[in-house]
Structure 1
Amino acid sequence: MTPIEEAKNLPSILRRILESYPGSEQDDRGPENRGYRTSDFPDIQDLIGNRTEPAVEAALGNQSGNYNINPTFGQGAISDIPYIPIERTDETTTTQSGIYVVYLFDPDKKRLYLTLNQGSAEAMRTSSRSGVGPTAATILERHAERYREIIDVPNGFTAKQAELSSELNRSEVYNSGTVFVKEYSPDDLSSTGAVVGDLVTAVETYDHFLDTLYATPEFDIGSKGVWTISPEGGEYWPTWVENEFASIGWSVDDIPESPDSPTGDRTQDSERQIYNFQHEIETGDIIVAGSRVNSIDVPYGIGRVTASFDEFPDVKGVETHDDIAANVDSREFEHSQFIGVDWVTVGTVDPDGGVSVNCLKPDKELFHQWTVHEFEPSLDHFIGALSRRMEVADIAYDVEDTINDFVETLEVERVDDKYGNGKEIPEEDGVEDDGVDIFDEWQAERSSVIETSDDDIELPELVFTQDQKTRLLNRIQSALENGKHVILTGPPGTGKTKLAREVARHYVDENHEMVTASADWSTFDTIGGYRPETDRSLEFHPGVFLDRFMTDEEGTPANEWLIIDELNRADIDKAFGALFSALTGETIRLPFDGKNERPVTLVGDPTDTEVSSLDSNHYFIPPDWRLLATMNTYDKTSLYQMSYAFMRRFAFIPVSVPTAEDIEEDLIQEYAKAWFGTTVPEETANITAELWRTINEVRTIGPAIVRDILAEVRGGDSTDYTDALIMFVMPQLEGLPKTKQRDFPEKVGSVNEDDIDVVDTGQLKQFARDYFEVEFSDENGS
């Protein structure tokens, strides 16, 4: 079978597993009593054991070799939750630790979840260590919250927990560990392109996330060596911290020549460790203390060597290491060789202290059976992961402060500039003098699109009463001239979106962009962020806002207005980030480097001389740039709320429906001519006007919905409005009290006359019963 054919099989394989896997209602299985064994299900065993891995590999294509794919549904007894993990091999090779992408099957709800998730073993071990309060689930949830702050959640996925059934074993840790998720029903697994595309997107985001996560902090440690050492499973750790040293216990006095690296021979390997301790570890080196506890890496602390093996007796004012051992205040301390260490502790200073952690590493273990050896992971990646774990476990309160404590004690240089530290930022040399000019010169060559616009705004296909039109346009023009951005508010169908487009066209012609807000939006969508290139390098790409302010890669400014439809569907504070300050004239340096390794800057104050040069990293907001947005007032209580900090940058302008006095035959005919180029029969106009007034007594609707009604009935031979009401009006009753939904059919039925049946109230009641689950007092619901 070709790779393409294998990839095409993935959705059907996932669906067959989901539909055929036994749920807990089919047996009495649970953590203590599982009723089935894997051998009882040969078809599932074939799907998960033989078919799934090649299908996933084919979907990932040439990149599949970078990942460990190990689908399973248990060993012996079947597991409650079968899963298909995709693990980057330098991050983890087990779902018990690290971060990975995983399909999680819920056989009870018949739902499949594609998630970015976390292993629970380290969190469980951390929560069980002395002095740590949060549960493992809480630790995982806190990590997920922090990861969502830096991750670019892809479209179609949601930054929330999975919702695996609580009755299933391990559902709590899987749910708690979820960073983002996409849920599938069996019917959702019918599209090959969508399912394979989702997986590729999730894995690409996973890669980008790990690269971003482990990019900070970044250290320059110079020539310092980095070592790992075990304090006898934690037993000697309190003594080490109290006496500011590290020690080993072998009695060999000296090994003058370097032995071979560890080979498995106990004598030779012991000699290697003694030699490292006596001759390789130098003053100024860095040493990590930790142990392997129940197959989990547990670091106790990190320190800087203050005195080597040869120097330490002099520091202590004695002649030999035996003299040091004799002065150690510990009854059962049996080590005999020492180096001085200034420690930064992790967790409590006792044998059961420490915090388990996972980080990128070339081997699956941080702390081997070899007591003294070179530390294999990148030190900065390790300290970043450890500091994040300390914060969520309530051992430290700020990641940056913790990292900087390590930097100060270890005497290393921090060179990353994500938090304004370290790396020197090159001078802003901009563009050559004979190239593009500074922003003020670009601005001086153009006129304000707002100040030079004298004509009235044209509103084709939009009909308002004269008073309403005058009031509406005066408010919009006044707000724009006074430097405000505009949010058009109103019920559905009042023409807010078309109005926003016509306003933008009036001022900037087609030089504008329209987007629809989403609950999935983050600053990655609006401001921008790093994205992987074809060579797997990361490069900054502007989001929907920054894209409006630059014409080309040379940094030529642009003034492309932005329209956001359904603004309050986005989590405003999360999605808009630095734009808050920029909209009020602040200049914001973003936490990204552009192609020239200079920080990307959003310039809200173009007169700021420090960033005045036109540069590919400078995004200027011209004084005459405006943001136009629409907001459905029926959604405002159920969707994301806008902070006052955001609201005060805007003028809120209502786009209302005509009053009951204005809704007459003449207005309907005016709408019909604008919409269809011709009038409608007089009877149709009268009935439509009466229906519109009646509907508005229950739920106000705008002209756009009336247009849909007229389009449905104007070409027919009858005046039956039933279908139009069911298709276009009744869904708008969602969210109203049940009493109003129940009364609506009879309410609109009042327009029926003796010789004209405008609506069939029986059909309306049936729809209300099916759609809103309302009940009617009469038996037949008519």
Structure 2
Amino acid sequence: MTSGEREQSGDSTAPDPAVYQVPITTDDEGPIRINFDRTVVTSVQRDRLEDICEIPLDHETVRVWGNTASKAADTGDYLLFADRDGHYGGEYTLLARIEHATILDEETAAAFTEAIGWGEVSDDSYQHVMFLDPVYETTLDREEFWETVGYNGWPNNTFARIKFDRTGSTFFSEYDSIPTFIEEIRGEKLYPTESADEDEETPGPDSRPTNVDHPVISHIRSASPTVYAFTAPPEYWLTTVEYGSVSFAEEHRDRWAELSEGDVAVLHARAEPSDEELSPRPGGIVGVGILGRRFEKDEPWWRDEHEYGESFPLVAAFDRLFLAGSIDRIDTSRSVAEKSTATIDRETDALTTDRLPTDRANDICAEATGTEFPVQSMHATFRADDGTDERDRPIALVSAMAEALTEVSTIHVHESYRGAISGETLEGLYFPDDQGERILEGIATALRSGKHILLTGPPGTGKTEIARRVSSALADDYPYLYSGYEVTTATADWSTFDTVGGYMPTESSETDGDDLAFTPGIVLNRLKDTRTETQSNELIVIDELNRADIDKAFGQLFTLLSGQSVQLPYTRNGREIELTTTDDLSGPPADHQYLVPDSWRIFATMNTYDKTSLYEMSYAFMRRFAFIRVPAPELPADDGQLEDLVYEYASAWELDPDRNVAMTVGRVWRETNNAVEERSIGPAIVEDVLRYVDQHPESALEYHLTQAVISYIFPQLEGVPKRRQIVRDIAAVREIDDSLLEQAAREMLQVTLAENE
């Protein structure tokens, strides 16, 4: 014993050790929480303390706890740590045996507190120091235990001895003894881990590859993200496989909000499940992922939400997810609530079969930085001793697991869209009255009904922009359903080669491009990531769909759009290319298969003007779509009301035209739309006209207004019957140069203003 120690407990032979509750608030910024994470959840190198006091353990690292108690605990006593949520909530997390406890004098306590790092977050010194060996996860259920011993809340301090024989306690009718109780609540041992000098030699750093090429390692090195360790019961990760996401309770909103796109999460399964009906299994790391968007949900996904009414409304989706184990043995067509305990156990075994054991992860981390894997019940961050982000341990862990990791899709292919579309989706676009809300409601209803979307209306009403914005919003708000979207424009030249795909030459050193291989087209590329070959689900926006010859362009897609699988007349590696629905496929698609998720949709637009080179769409094709009308606004006959309407649109476009300019453009718009029944233009074209005119002096209004009409309105009249009448009515607007207009009409539209032609 060093001169700094006044008291040291001897070995205890008592059959009933004391058990102390150590409830710690879940506040990440609290000093007790930080110290717990640093010296109990993770280990401390013994050489940091050897010059201060005697170290009673032979391990290279130690786990230590301290407080201001004046009497030392006995060897063999236990600390029962808990994550405390208010006075009544939380859960027990770790069980640690006290191998040695001592009371340090004031000077030594100050030096110890500083050396171990407790002094970085608190001005207090902790003279009561406890060395812990071993440290376990605990399986103790808080609510059941409190009912047994008669507790109705947490103690007021963080070192409270449990009175097992208190009045009202039924403890000794349920347990033979305190040692029996301790034996039953012990979970996986976290510390100490198997060392290199024990029965099985642990590979050293030289035996592990140092130049492993893995996407997550490359991402960590290039982007320097924050890396987290998420620990949960083993069955929790089955829902992560299903939805490609991790969840947070409302009380952890601050932690959830701190996550950024591109951050990395190491996924750790603890040994004990959350339900005693499920089987325990050795814990370990089961995967790693790159985080994407955060969002909120109101439906139960995880088993604890279904079974026990818990709520995890805060979700972070993965952009990329890599898992060990036999993931194809996990059935994602049924939710975890629909599965029996036997099925959950079987699928959890499949998920954890190639895990990196926790003790091995500790060794790898210790070899990398001297600090073990940050195991705890909730969410930890890989940090260095100075509190900065640390990435050497995650890189070492991914390197060790690289061969066992397989990239999996983060898209839930069996989940249908059941949501709503926020009115903010159309922010910045102006629609009179509640027209915008009605359009969004119609789209959402059609999506929920399983229909594809066809937006129809005059040119310039914003159909393409609506489709683009809705697709973007769906990808942002439902990342577990949609991986993005693509916009393309149909042409008369389209064939199934463009939409479905076909054979194209491939280059190799042997063939110089003479080999042919199937190359997917616009539609199939939305269903499989061309870079990672994992399942994707990108919405597709096809502008001006009726420009294409539908039969020629879509061919086999007719069958697919009707909900049936179809084989294509192409092969890959000797097997026919298949477009398949979720009803006809279990597990992930093979290389020759393209799986259509239940939520996949086409958005298409169609102008109601009859332009040249347009093709009629068959009834069989049209009935796969819901037609959503996007009309041009009604233009009032009263000039004052017309002027007000133009200014409402101009305000949305952030324009402030002179009154005469606004009125004149409004008259041109009204004459264009009223000349011929069912022939009109939308506000987007009028915006182009107004922007053009507004850039020039009002003194030259007649010329520039006419030029704007020629540039932006005339192209919409090509091939339109009765276009002569529309041109004549526009020419009747006083500020139009009818001579210039007629010259352009002859050249572009092959019409004149003469009434007798």
Task: Please indicate the TM-score interval, normalised by the length of the shorter structure.
Answer: 0.3 to 0.5
| TM-score normalised by L of structure 2 | 0.42
Higher fraction of strand: 2
